Amino acid sequence: MKHLQIKNILFLCTANAARSQIAEGLARNLLGPSTNIMSAGAQPTAVHPYAIETMAEIGIDISRQRSTSEMDIDPASIDLVITLCAERVCPSLPANIRHLHWPIPDPVPDDPALAPDAIRAHFQVTRDQIQARIEILASLLNIPPGPLPQEFHGSIRVNSLPHSVRFYAWLLDIWPKEWTHRYATFIRPDLNLNFVLLVSDGKALHHDTLYHLGIGVANRNEVIEAYHRAIAVGAQVEKPPRTTWKGTPLHELWLKDPDDNLVEIYARLTDDELLQKPENEAPSYLVPGTAPPP
């Protein structure tokens, strides 16, 4: 779904009274006018008063929304359908419609004796759960092109290297390619996976540690292109593209994710590139103007 154009979103539940109405109001607020938001139900009734009230608490007015039958919606006009029912009866969908399912319990109580404050609490929980999911959906829409991964590398810290090597040899169904007293490296070419176990040394994580996610791309130009794409999307660049020679020679770019976890985008050097290794093994920066001051 990364580069799909999602312009028309339909939220569905059974009665189109609470969950899908709350979702419609939240999505209009969070996704903005560029996305057309609708809601409907298999057995539509009316917008529940507590749905209106719980949305008003966060400054969103859904009092003018109306319950709609799913039969009144043209499936061809919808890019994405999100069903919200946790019960067994849920609106059926044509197989060719792109579909997400968020099973959220109906906040409308079965017990008529339930106190109003308890009912409000159910609706507030429903609202907050739907809002958190729509916030993630909003972050996924209109993602620009990223790197083109060919392999993945991950490193984790472990307390006992022998115990963890045994576990991951079982889990990945392969012996490590190599190991020392400090690390073990597992290679699964069929999964495009390079996975490293590191002995935990108790030191704080920093830019020199190997604890990170790595994404392998095809060549030097793809690393440079990944840098420009990272700049365009506003990603944090830890180290700009460069060719490093010490250890494993690579073209590499280091980023940080929103939680400051390190991400390496790298390409292995060709045989011809390896012949260009400088005597001092100093890194070569690949984008003009990105080298640190001397």
Active site residues: 13, 85, 90
Residue 96 CA: distances (Å) to CA of 72, 80, 106: 18, 11, 27
Return all residues near 49 (Cβ < 8 A) that are at least 6 apart: none
d(CA 38, CA 47): 14
Q: Hey, what are 34's tokens?
A: 């560029």
Residue 14 zone, left/alpha/beta (φ > 0; ψ -120 to 50; rest): alpha
User: Do residues 211 and 228 lie in contact, with contact meaning Cβ atoms separated by under 8 Å?
Assistant: no
Distance CA 266, CA 196 (A): 16
- Strand, helix or coil at 154? strand
